Chain A
Amino acid sequence: MGKWLLKLVQLFNPVFRRQGIDVDRLYTIVELKLLMDTRRVYMSWKQNQQKDNKNHLTTILILYGLFGVFMGVAVYSFPNLVTAMILFHSYVIFMMAMTLITDFSSVLLDTTDNQILLPRPVNSKTLFMARLIHVLLYLLQFSVAICLVPVIAIFVKYGALVGLGMIITSQLTVLLAVFITYLLYLLVLRFSSEQKIKEIVTYFQIGMTLFFTVGYQLIPRMIDLEGLSASFTLKWYSFLIPPVWMAMALESLYDYNFDLAHLTMLFLAVFVPLFLYWVLNKFLAPLFSKQLANLNNDSRVNKKQPVGIKSRKGFSGRLASLCCVTPVEKGAFELTWKMTSRDKAFRLQFYPALGYIPIFLFIIIFNGGRNMAEQFALLPDSNKFLWMIYIPLFAVASSLTIVTFNENFQASWIYHSMPVKRPGELLSGNLKALIAKYFLPVYLAFFGISLFVWGPAIIDDFVLGLFNSLISLLVLTQFTEHFLPFSRQPNVKQQSGKFLKIILQMLIIGVLVVIHYFLLDRVYIMYGVALLSLLGLWLMVKNLQAISWNKISV
């Protein structure tokens, strides 16, 4: 799509020439940047599915387009234009801001660009225009993908005038999204480091991944709108919400209602984005490039941390002493604890899995009927707390595999060069860290919620469930290949056995749930089984710790 759009840009060639822009070099740079856009790894899509030679950008645009279809259907089926348009413009602003923050950050924050282009004979006007055109084309490609189907839907339902108006308002909304993104970056750049920005971007990326994967499940279900009352009443704060401006402006185009409220909205819809754009150009953009330049030159601003021996152990250190016996195990525990907090790839892969938990619950608990209140009232009489017990296990189990991968997988030489007698202790330390850090908090939270809904009768179930879950995690570790934590190269196609692992996981959980189900009313047996379970757990930990070097996979 970028190349076609570039053809349109070429219409402006005479203008460019008059401004002293070197047209040949301009297109050389823009074309290259468009080419690189197609090769960047897009965060909102699962990274390991992005093959090297495919055009990632097209894939991502098609994905956005599909969401656009959902949105188009929704917009079409809404009985009320204003509500439909509020929904649509909120969607545009959300999608564009998220896209800009997650994917375009690499372009906005890229400082290698200067090092490559500035020494070459390209004048600054050309360079500026090349960057501008690139950004505009990028935005245009995404806004076309997002807005195309909804705009067609509106054209069909409300006529050409509203349709055309919508094209304009959607672009104005994109402008707002750009402003928001810039503002966010500036704030972060102002108050913290580049590292922090990357950190924040990671969380947005996690949110984005979650949005896409969950969105595919939920949005089609939610489009059924019969029960939704779709009327809109104007409140004073409506004047503060940009999507409302756009929606009201379009309504006035539809029914030619130009009363004071509509005129105000129309005015806000057109002039606020333009004004903010002017502010952006005049003040924010120069400030932004200045901040960025500072980032680049300031190696010396790094505040020196006071050097010295830290007297107190960190939280993870104390926890490690609590959970682990040998120094090797403690070391592995702390390593896993800290690395999982800091490694971007781990968080990007694992946190969305945690994010599924509430959504799973929502689907399971409120499945079937429409009336949520009714469902909720029936809850205490059901056995649905069994889900509450075993969902955390299912969600956290994926971390076992993810934790074995790391960008710096080569650093695992350290395990092999050290006099570690029983590498099983590395595995057990790693596992304990994952359990303490992710499994237990989730499990406790679920316990709390269940206690609130079902009352103290479920305590014994959660005790048994805890031991069962822990045993399952150990079984999963025991019966799959033993990789040391952070020792495997990511994104290579050696993830065989992944399917087997999932089957195994399902099987174990299934069996546990069935056993648990039959024990539900027999409290004493339950405690007995729990005791047995605990014993099994202890044996299995011993077993895991005793694993020798020849069982470790490399």
Chain B
Amino acid sequence: MSIIQLQQVRKQYSGTYVLQGIDLSFDKGQIVGYIGPNGAGKSTTIKILTGIISDFEGNAMVLGLDVRKDPMIIKQQIGYIPENAALYDVLTPVEYLDFVGKLYQMDAVNTRKKALDLLRLFDLADKHDMRMNSFSKGMRQKVLLISGLIHNPEIIFLDEPLSGLDANAVILVKEILSQLKHSGKTIFYSSHIMDVVEKISDRIIIINKGAVIADGTFDELKKAGAEGSLENIFTALTGDQQHLSTAGEFVDIMKNFSNG
């Protein structure tokens, strides 16, 4: 049985459809890369699957449950790391993680120990008692990652999880994701950093203008689209070749007005 299933999911905002009938289904223990240009509907899809948006058309099942009927059971078993580092930054990381733990009804002592250990692994041990409004983007992102994983979820939804992280942390997070997959977790990874998606995903889904335009392993996509990197396939499939002429024009204008 597939762990995530979308059937003809459509979603409109004031008249325009941002999702125009998405069909998806996949099994446990995979990393699924979800890519598309800005405004393609990536975040909306994730919000539907995590039960944040409930007014949509079509069917969405997570863990075999309808997201509209049993959102509480689903939310207890999934982790969501949103893209724009939304957290209560007047709190300290420990306070924030305590709070999150309580919402998942975890044991308080256990949460605290887990939180401290995980913060230590992310090199935030010395900052566990500092308010996060002084934190850099990368540090917040680390806390956000922990807050989405601390309750040991079955499915993990990540929206641009690497933004702001330093090189070491990027390597670490990629390795964590791959080990999570081997232990049977399912990971839904949305991003536009293509070379990361290319390397870690078992399956890649490309959406454009609210519809799936490619779905398969990296090798399968190569056959359907273009040779080379995921980036090449992506530009071939989304039909966006305009960047060549735009770049040319850019350089021209730049030269024309120099030292004017």
Using CB atoms and an 8 Å cutoff, list the residues of chain A in contact with chain B: 24-25, 28-29, 32, 35-36, 39-40, 52, 112, 114-123, 294, 297-300
Known: A119-B51, A119-B52. A24 touches B90 (CB 8 A): no
**Docked pose: A294 CA to B72 CA in angstroms:** 25
Given the complex, which residues of B lie within 8 Å of A36, measured CB to CB?
Answer: 88, 90-91
Known: A28-B103, A294-B14. A123 touches B72 (CB 8 A): yes
Given the complex, which residues of B lie within 8 Å of A298, measured CB to CB?
Answer: 13
CB distance A112 to B39 under 8 Å? no
CB distance B88 to A121 under 8 Å? no
Highest count of chain A CB atoms <10 Å: which of B14, B80, B86: B86
CB distance A118 to B51 under 8 Å? yes
Of the residues A28, A29, A122, A297, contact of B13 by C-beta under 8 Å: A297
CB distance A115 to B103 under 8 Å? no
Contact digits for B120-147, partner A, Cβ 8 Å, 1 yes 0 no = 0000000000010000000000000000
- Shortest C-beta distance, B88 to chain A (Å), equals 6
CB distance B104 to A116 under 8 Å? no
A interface secondary structure, majority: helix
CB distance A120 to B90 under 8 Å? no
**Docked pose: A220 CA to B76 CA in angstroms:** 57
CB distance A120 to B14 under 8 Å? no
CB distance B131 to A39 under 8 Å? yes
The contact sample of 28 A-B pairs, CB cut-off 8 A, is: A24-B102, A25-B105, A28-B99, A28-B102, A32-B88, A36-B88, A36-B91, A39-B91, A52-B131, A112-B86, A112-B88, A117-B103, A119-B50, A119-B52, A119-B75, A119-B78, A119-B82, A120-B104, A121-B72, A121-B76, A121-B104, A121-B105, A122-B75, A122-B103, A123-B71, A294-B14, A298-B13, A299-B39
Contact digits for B91-108, partner A, Cβ 8 Å, 1 yes 0 no = 100010001101111000
CB distance A121 to B75 under 8 Å? yes
Of the residues A32, A52, A112, contact of B99 by C-beta under 8 Å: A32
* B40 in the interface (beta carbon within 8 A): no
**Docked pose: A123 CA to B105 CA in angstroms:** 13
Known: A25-B102, A28-B102, A39-B131. A116 touches B14 (CB 8 A): no
B79's closest neighbor in chain A, by CB?
Answer: A119
CB distance A39 to B103 under 8 Å? no
Known: A25-B103, A121-B72. A300 touches B51 (CB 8 A): no
- Shortest C-beta distance, A419 to chain B (Å), equals 11
CB distance A39 to B100 under 8 Å? no
A31's closest neighbor in chain B, by CB?
Answer: B99
CB distance B75 to A120 under 8 Å? yes
**Docked pose: A115 CA to B85 CA in angstroms:** 9
Given the complex, which residues of B lie within 8 Å of A28, measured CB to CB?
Answer: 99, 102-103
Highest count of chain A CB atoms <10 Å: which of B50, B80, B95, B103: B103
**Docked pose: A35 CA to B102 CA in angstroms:** 15
* B87 in the interface (beta carbon within 8 A): yes
**Docked pose: A123 CA to B72 CA in angstroms:** 7
**Docked pose: A123 CA to B76 CA in angstroms:** 11
**Docked pose: A47 CA to B76 CA in angstroms:** 40
CB distance B90 to A40 under 8 Å? yes
- Shortest C-beta distance, B124 to chain A (Å), equals 18
**Docked pose: A300 CA to B13 CA in angstroms:** 11
Given the complex, which residues of B lie within 8 Å of A297, measured CB to CB?
Answer: 13
A37's closest neighbor in chain B, by CB?
Answer: B90
Q: Which of B66-86 contact A (CB under 8 A)?
A: 71-73, 75-76, 78, 80, 82, 84, 86
CB distance B80 to A119 under 8 Å? yes
Known: A52-B131, A119-B52, A121-B104. A39 touches B90 (CB 8 A): yes
- Shortest C-beta distance, B37 to chain A (Å), equals 13
CB distance A120 to B86 under 8 Å? no
**Docked pose: A117 CA to B51 CA in angstroms:** 11
CB distance B131 to A116 under 8 Å? no
Given the complex, which residues of B lie within 8 Å of A39, measured CB to CB?
Answer: 90-91, 131
Q: A119-B51, A123-B72 are in contact. List 13 more A-B contacts (CB 8 A).
A: A25-B103, A25-B105, A28-B102, A28-B103, A29-B103, A35-B95, A36-B90, A39-B90, A118-B50, A119-B50, A119-B52, A119-B80, A120-B103
Given the complex, which residues of B lie within 8 Å of A25, measured CB to CB?
Answer: 102-103, 105
**Docked pose: A294 CA to B14 CA in angstroms:** 9
Q: Which of B32-63 contact A (CB under 8 A)?
A: 39, 50-52
**Docked pose: A36 CA to B75 CA in angstroms:** 25
Given the complex, which residues of A lie within 8 Å of B102, measured CB to CB?
Answer: 24-25, 28
Contact digits for B162-190, partner A, Cβ 8 Å, 1 yes 0 no = 00000000000000000000000000000
CB distance A116 to B72 under 8 Å? no
**Docked pose: A300 CA to B72 CA in angstroms:** 32
Given the complex, which residues of B lie within 8 Å of A112, measured CB to CB?
Answer: 86-88
Given the complex, which residues of B lie within 8 Å of A122, measured CB to CB?
Answer: 75, 103
Of the residues A40, A116, A294, contact of B86 by C-beta under 8 Å: A116
**Docked pose: A120 CA to B86 CA in angstroms:** 13
**Docked pose: A300 CA to B105 CA in angstroms:** 38
Given the complex, which residues of A lie within 8 Å of B80, measured CB to CB?
Answer: 119
**Docked pose: A40 CA to B131 CA in angstroms:** 12
Given the complex, which residues of A lie within 8 Å of B71, measured CB to CB?
Answer: 123
Given the complex, which residues of B lie within 8 Å of A300, measured CB to CB?
Answer: 39
Given the complex, which residues of A lie within 8 Å of B87, measured CB to CB?
Answer: 112, 116
B38's closest neighbor in chain A, by CB?
Answer: A299
**Docked pose: A114 CA to B95 CA in angstroms:** 19
Given the complex, which residues of A lie within 8 Å of B52, measured CB to CB?
Answer: 114-115, 118-119
Given the complex, which residues of A lie within 8 Å of B103, measured CB to CB?
Answer: 25, 28-29, 117, 120-122
- Shortest C-beta distance, A51 to chain B (Å), equals 12
- Shortest C-beta distance, A42 to chain B (Å), equals 12
B89's closest neighbor in chain A, by CB?
Answer: A112
- Shortest C-beta distance, A409 to chain B (Å), equals 15
Lowest 4 CB-CB distances: which A-B pairs, in order?
A: A115-B86, A119-B80, A121-B75, A39-B90
Given the complex, which residues of A lie within 8 Å of B99, measured CB to CB?
Answer: 28, 32
**Docked pose: A29 CA to B99 CA in angstroms:** 8
Highest count of chain B CB atoms <10 Å: which of A28, A52, A112, A121: A121
**Docked pose: A36 CA to B86 CA in angstroms:** 15
**Docked pose: A35 CA to B72 CA in angstroms:** 26
**Docked pose: A116 CA to B7 CA in angstroms:** 27
Given the complex, which residues of B lie within 8 Å of A120, measured CB to CB?
Answer: 75, 100, 103-104
